[in-house]
Structure 1
Amino acid sequence: MFVSGTTSLAGPGPVPAAGSPSPAPRSGPTSLGDILRGKRLTAHFQPVVDLTQGRVYGHESLIRGPADTVFHMPERLFSEARRQGVHPQLELASAHTGLQAFHGQASDTAGYLFVNMSASALIHYWTIWGDEMGTRILDGLALEPGRIVIELTEHDPIAPHMAALSEAFASLRAQGLRVALDDYGVGHSSLQLWAMVQPDLVKIDRYFFDGISSDERKQQLVRAVLAVAQCYGTPTVAEGIENAEDLAVVRDLGVRYAQGWFLGRPQVEPVPDVPDEVKQMLARRAPQRIGAARNNSSTVAALRVDAPAVSHGRHTNDDVHRLFGEHKSLHAVAVVDDSNRPVGIINRRDFTDRYSQRYTRELFGRDPCSTFMNGEPVLVDAQASIDQLSHVLISQDQRYLVDGFIVTRDGGYDGLGTGEALVRSVTEMRIEAARYANPLTSLPGNIPISQHIGALLESGVEFVTGYCDLNNFKPFNDVYGYWRGDDMILLCADIVREHCDPQRDFVGHVGGDDFVVLMRSPDWHRRLENIITQFDLRARDLYDDAGRASGGIEAEDRHGVMRFFPFVTLGIGALRVEPASYDRIRPEDIASAAAQVKHKVKHGNSALVVERYNGNA
């Protein structure tokens, strides 16, 4: 059951029931009750970073007890509060401590403040205060409610109390506060909670990001969570980022926000900016993922429209009204901060409709231009490939259709794009991709493969070209029929895709039983070995019982002679390419050299042959 009593913090605290464990020993004269009565809590602030803009998005308030007690670290502090049944009171005191410190130290550049509260504490105070809960949490501070994010921790079973929790969140939102789910993917967090609460943010637990740069399974799990986030239109935060490699993968996966020791450790004062090494890492863009030449026609730069912006700190709603009057074709205007980084977008039609209402100009004309802006615009780097925006089209938040999107360059404002142009460009790209895709596997065919090799050569990065070919496939196809042969080809396609990183690797289908993989994954050799092992094992399932028992089938060879053919297996010729070592390499040079390595596999005793490209194809 959730705690619903009103344990006083003024007295000595609750008396343990008979048989219950004794309270934790004090260190010196201080007990948990002393800490609460004496307001001896301290807030530390850990930054949450916007990876798209490379700046601090907000801070999470993390509470410490007195340094000279056993309750200094939060694990012991909150564990003891739960044991004594006063965790709602401790959580409220912690929230007040964080809010007061943030209010006293932080400027507008500190962004949002994330305050942790459990479900039981929220329902406890919702039961007592009802719709006054938001005001009581803010404790009379002159902080904008919109800058406060109540972060639901995962300590309590939630399902039996989902309705009450939804009501509590609805009340907080009505008072301007935002809500987030913490540690999603572990504990008591669930899709049901996500669907009912409709949080403004979801923080994905640190477990999924610890070593994600070298863990394909974790990458797949995060992609699954991001698919849900796209459906609901919910921004996500990656927790526990502790090195540049993991941050790069998180950025490339499309996670918008992140926090962790690599981005900034908890400290007493909020930080105004991210570390330089983080900025440098975020500025290094990954090579283009799709098989298209790297030029402006395939990047967001092709959709960019020159458009003026307004400043959050200097312009008013009257200024926005005049701007729209001077630029009749302007569908929206971006709102930027003093560093020219976008913080919102104002839709022309919505703004005009509101401004035409009676007394609106008199009441809001001199207010900041952020009054009527959408504070969660779609932001896209000018060098991002257009295909990376496909997820925007299927997200639940469809405001981009009328608002358009903001184009950035190195985190700063660079222009606008329209929803119409985005839909048209993505549609055209998909049609073009389908035009050259293999009809059986839907994988890119010869032309996209060559284009992607060209993009990799132009980028100058090292990569591996793997030419995959099936052994003994023709007799299998002759004996079992083309439909079973198609199943074998589809199996190969599935296994290759399963073991390739879609953020770093490209899979193409040349035709028939030939596939090409272009790999930038650092563990490419292990991936190729796993592809071969998995295919050789699972291909046997496509034989009938007699074939599996015999280890193969009897069939005619190319000379019409009956002979025995063992199971279909996979061979891969791998060509390591270092573009910087040569003056000029053409895609066809790489394709020809890879085919020669595959030929050695076909006529040798090894399933995997690796050679280095020497420029003599």
Structure 2
Amino acid sequence: MSSIPLRLVQGSVPKSSGPRPLEAVLQNKSLYPVFQPIVKLDDGSVYAHEALIRGPQGTALHTPDALLRAADEEGLGYAFETACVRATLRSWGRMQTAGRLFVNVSAEALITAYEGRGQQGLLDWIQDFHVTPRMLVLEITEHERVDNMDRLAEVVQEVRAAGLALALDDFGDGRSSLRLWSQIKPEVVKIDKYFTRNISAHGDKLKTIQALQHIATIFGTALVAEGIETAEDLRVLRDVGIEYGQGYFLGRPDAVPLQWLPALPKQVLQERQVAVFPELGRLSQGGHLRSLSLVRAPTVSPETHNDTLARIFLDNSTLHAVAVVEGERPVGIINRAHFMNEYSKLYYREVWGRKPCVVHANMEPRLIEREHSVDELVGILTSQDQRYLSDGFIATDNGRYVGIGTGDQLVRSVTETRIEAARHANPLTFLPGNIPITQHIERLLKKQACFVACYADLNHFKPYNDYYGYWRGDEMIRLLARIAMEQCDAQRDFLGHVGGDDFILLFQSEDWRARCERLVAEFGERARALFDENARQAGGIEAEDRHGVRRFFPCTTLSIGAVVVDGHQFTRAEDVANLAAMAKHDAKLSPTGLHETVLA
């Protein structure tokens, strides 16, 4: 049956002179199944087949969509579902094919069938078709809201006790709910094809799949990735660790079940090449500041007297400020130094001691939600209004006061959070940082793949950076990133930015040497455009070296150190990176800018 669900239609249907189109199909028993393979992605074996229903060929009711519309219009929901399952079991039992059979059924149809036949009656009915119940997987195709989730869970428990397994179809399409997954605890969940289609090019889809894997581990559920249509998507799903796959690239629906996987997808599953996981386009440079260090300081109200506030400051010698709070909502902040300077003036206590302290408050305090990202806070540090650094800030949780912090704490937290974010994605080039680089090398080594680890570094970059300034230096680094991306095969080669002018390239492309040579040559040509005319004519610039001695430096060029790695030789990513870095030093001495280290 199609994965499109069907409601049980209640109520009367107007009579006609003869059987309606679908009614006639059911009477003639003209429905027949086709079977699409579900493949184990670790070894390429055919694990199971999903049965998909078809109507009479050459008619308007041949396709699943047409059949479902007719069933809805003619009020034949339950009769149609029963006929689909009957036709499927009859065909499967006659062929006696190895492996499991996934049969689509709506939640309401399953409940109705169980209540009508009972557990033993269902078992007898299935076995009458010479189908073994333990080889049958009921795939819940519930796109309408399940009216009685508790009853469904009870029925599922009875059905499972009889030896049948359960699967949840199209998870993630917005209608298959996490509650349904949690409550019926299916043995298998099928991920909606939206998340698998073109996953090789979408980092957000990959992150979603990885999140579903965590949930599946909690519930002890196997995952099936539906909609696999390309070799690139298959590689990513294989390498991310999805257990089963289904889609046209693996096998199309056919009246005869597939026994062996076709040559092309089998080759993809058996190859030693490792997929390059897509990255999120522009990762957040900060993340949230939940870990921000706060002072659980006492608060005052707008009516608190100045004498009371003075006692608070005197009792808390390290307190730099207090928050003015109405209920749970902060409305102002009072700076310690500013207040105590006023309070210590002659006759102040006698005249103003019993007056409200709110007169000293900054009624436009900087409020920081614990969920704020770093990017939202950078403006505080660069603002012309430096009160926010001297007064500090007030931290809130959903608008409620939770504490205060200092400007120093804010600077430190922003810096630490950005450093951590840069380990995942470089903020200048948005290329993967140290953590994704290490993870990709580890995946290559785990699969014992053959690859080439290259360390790319600019020659005479510091003099250029000092001479023209950091903005021009950043422009040159971004130029190198663009050219390197142009020379990498997005499906086979990984490009990461270690930091500064250091880049890592992990090639699985066989023509890696030609790619590196083009990268060195093209960068050398295009980088000259970043120098002024006099420097281009002179072939370089006069600048100070690391020891403060002024001398001539040639125009910036690129060096690449390469190490051909056999995955059998290494177990640690760090060892590979160190060898590539050593090769880079040799490359700087090479007239071609490229040096290959041959391992014994």
Letter aligned with residue 256 of structure 1: E
Partner of residue 76, structure 1:
66
Please, which runs of 5 or more residues in structure 2 have no aligned partner? 1-5, 277-419, 425-432, 467-489, 516-545, 549-555, 566-574
Is 1:239 the counterpart of 2:226? The answer is yes
Q: Cα distance 1:574–1:95, how it changes in 2: closer, same or farther (>3 A)? A: farther
Partner of residue 401, structure 1:
none
List per-residue Cα deviations over 1:53-75 (Å, max 9, x = no partner).
32111111110001132110001
Letter aligned with residue 275 of structure 1: P
Alpha-carbon separation, structure 2, partners of 1:454 and 1:222: 21
Alpha-carbon separation, structure 2, partners of 1:574 and 1:444: 20
List per-residue Cα deviations over 1:548-607 (Å, max 9, x = no partner).
xxxxxxxxxx999xxxxxxxxxx9989585849xxxx99656325657999xxxxxxxxx
Pick one of 82, 88, 91 that aligns with 2:78.
Answer: 88
Partner of residue 149, structure 1:
137
Is 1:253 the counterpart of 2:236? The answer is no
Q: What does 1:128-147 align with in structure 2 at a 5 Å threshold? A: 128-132=116-120, 134-135=122-123, 138=126, 140-147=128-135
Alpha-carbon separation, structure 2, partners of 1:262 and 1:453: 24
Q: Cα distance 1:84–1:463, how it changes in 2: closer, same or farther (>3 A)? A: farther
Letter aligned with residue 172 of structure 2: G
Partner of residue 195, structure 2:
208
Does the CA-based 8 Å contact 2:275-2:492 persist in structure 1? no
Q: Cα distance 1:287–1:590, how it changes in 2: closer, same or farther (>3 A)? A: same
Q: Secondary structure at the match of 1:186?
A: coil
Alpha-carbon separation, structure 2, partners of 1:450 and 1:44: 40
Alpha-carbon separation, structure 1, partners of 2:576 and 2:559: 18
Partner of residue 59, structure 1:
49
Letter aligned with residue 168 of structure 1: V
Q: Cα distance 1:574–1:210, how it changes in 2: closer, same or farther (>3 A)? A: farther
Alpha-carbon separation, structure 2, partners of 1:74 and 1:203: 19
Pick one of 241, 247, 267 that aligns with 1:280.
Answer: 267
Partner of residue 88, structure 2:
98
Q: Cα distance 1:515–1:90, how it changes in 2: closer, same or farther (>3 A)? A: farther
Is 1:15 the counterpart of 2:19? The answer is no
Q: Cα distance 1:53–1:453, how it changes in 2: closer, same or farther (>3 A)? A: closer
TM-score (norm 2): 0.51
Partner of residue 255, structure 2:
268
Does the CA-based 8 Å contact 2:228-2:234 persist in structure 1? yes
Partner of residue 478, structure 2:
none
Q: Cα distance 1:507–1:116, how it changes in 2: closer, same or farther (>3 A)? A: same
Partner of residue 176, structure 1:
163
- Cα distance, 1:207 vs structure 2: 1.4
Pick one of 218, 221, 241 that aligns with 2:205.
Answer: 218
Does the CA-based 8 Å contact 1:467-1:517 persist in structure 2? no
Does the CA-based 8 Å contact 1:454-1:586 persist in structure 2? no
Alpha-carbon separation, structure 2, partners of 1:450 and 1:284: 17
List per-residue Cα deviations over 1:267-299 (Å, max 9, x = no partner).
11212211122222211134599xxxxxxxxxx
- Cα distance, 1:515 vs structure 2: 7.2
Does the CA-based 8 Å contact 1:454-1:587 persist in structure 2? no
Does the CA-based 8 Å contact 2:453-2:507 persist in structure 1? yes
Partner of residue 387, structure 1:
none
- Cα distance, 1:256 vs structure 2: 0.7
Is 1:194 the counterpart of 2:175? The answer is no
Q: Secondary structure at the match of 1:262?
A: coil
- Cα distance, 1:254 vs structure 2: 0.4
Letter aligned with residue 262 of structure 1: F
Q: Cα distance 1:82–1:124, how it changes in 2: closer, same or farther (>3 A)? A: farther
Alpha-carbon separation, structure 2, partners of 1:241 and 1:260: 4
Alpha-carbon separation, structure 1, partners of 2:32 and 2:443: 55
Q: Cα distance 1:186–1:588, how it changes in 2: closer, same or farther (>3 A)? A: closer
Q: What does 1:407-486 align with in structure 2 at a 5 Å threshold? A: 459-462=449-452, 465=455
Does the CA-based 8 Å contact 1:450-1:588 persist in structure 2? no
Alpha-carbon separation, structure 1, partners of 2:188 and 2:440: 40
Please, which runs of 5 or more residues in structure 1 have no aligned partner? 8-12, 17-22, 290-437, 476-500, 526-557, 561-570, 599-610
Partner of residue 111, structure 1:
99
Q: Cα distance 1:161–1:30, how it changes in 2: closer, same or farther (>3 A)? A: closer
Does the CA-based 8 Å contact 1:134-1:171 persist in structure 2? no
List per-residue Cα deviations over 1:154-194 (Å, max 9, x = no partner).
32112x42112111211210111110001111041121111
List per-residue Cα deviations over 1:310-355 (Å, max 9, x = no partner).
xxxxxxxxxxxxxxxxxxxxxxxxxxxxxxxxxxxxxxxxxxxxxx
Q: Secondary structure at the match of 1:168?
A: helix
Does the CA-based 8 Å contact 1:102-1:270 persist in structure 2? no
Alpha-carbon separation, structure 2, partners of 1:156 and 1:185: 14
Q: Cα distance 1:612–1:48, how it changes in 2: closer, same or farther (>3 A)? A: farther
Alpha-carbon separation, structure 2, partners of 1:137 and 1:597: 74
Alpha-carbon separation, structure 2, partners of 1:200 and 1:173: 10
Is 1:44 the counterpart of 2:31? The answer is no
Q: Cα distance 1:113–1:141, how it changes in 2: closer, same or farther (>3 A)? A: same
Alpha-carbon separation, structure 2, partners of 1:80 and 1:450: 51
- Cα distance, 1:84 vs structure 2: 2.7
Q: Secondary structure at the match of 2:148?
A: helix
List per-residue Cα deviations over 1:5-61 (Å, max 9, x = no partner).
788xxxxx8228xxxxxx9xx9xx971100111111011111111122321111111
Q: Cα distance 1:228–1:515, how it changes in 2: closer, same or farther (>3 A)? A: farther
Q: Cα distance 1:219–1:615, how it changes in 2: closer, same or farther (>3 A)? A: same
- Cα distance, 1:137 vs structure 2: 5.7
Q: Cα distance 1:237–1:559, how it changes in 2: closer, same or farther (>3 A)? A: same
Alpha-carbon separation, structure 1, partners of 2:443 and 2:33: 52
Pick one of 594, 597, 600 that aligns with 1:613.
Answer: 594
Alpha-carbon separation, structure 2, partners of 1:119 and 1:453: 41
Q: Cα distance 1:75–1:518, how it changes in 2: closer, same or farther (>3 A)? A: same
Q: Secondary structure at the match of 1:255?
A: coil
List per-residue Cα deviations over 1:62-111 (Å, max 9, x = no partner).
1000113211000110122123332221111101111110110133xx30
Does the CA-based 8 Å contact 1:453-1:518 persist in structure 2? no
The alignment of Structure 1 onto Structure 2 pairs a total of residues equal to 366
Q: Secondary structure at the match of 1:217?
A: helix
Partner of residue 533, structure 2:
none
Q: Secondary structure at the match of 1:461?
A: strand
Alpha-carbon separation, structure 2, partners of 1:93 and 1:54: 33
Q: Cα distance 1:519–1:588, how it changes in 2: closer, same or farther (>3 A)? A: closer
List per-residue Cα deviations over 1:497-545 (Å, max 9, x = no partner).
xxxx9998597979xx7976454599x99xxxxxxxxxxxxxxxxxxxx
Alpha-carbon separation, structure 1, partners of 2:232 and 2:116: 47
Does the CA-based 8 Å contact 2:78-2:109 persist in structure 1? yes
Does the CA-based 8 Å contact 2:35-2:257 persist in structure 1? yes
Alpha-carbon separation, structure 1, partners of 2:69 and 2:182: 29
TM-score (norm 1): 0.49
Q: Cα distance 1:113–1:53, how it changes in 2: closer, same or farther (>3 A)? A: same
**How large is the RMSD of aligned CA atoms in angstroms?**
5.1
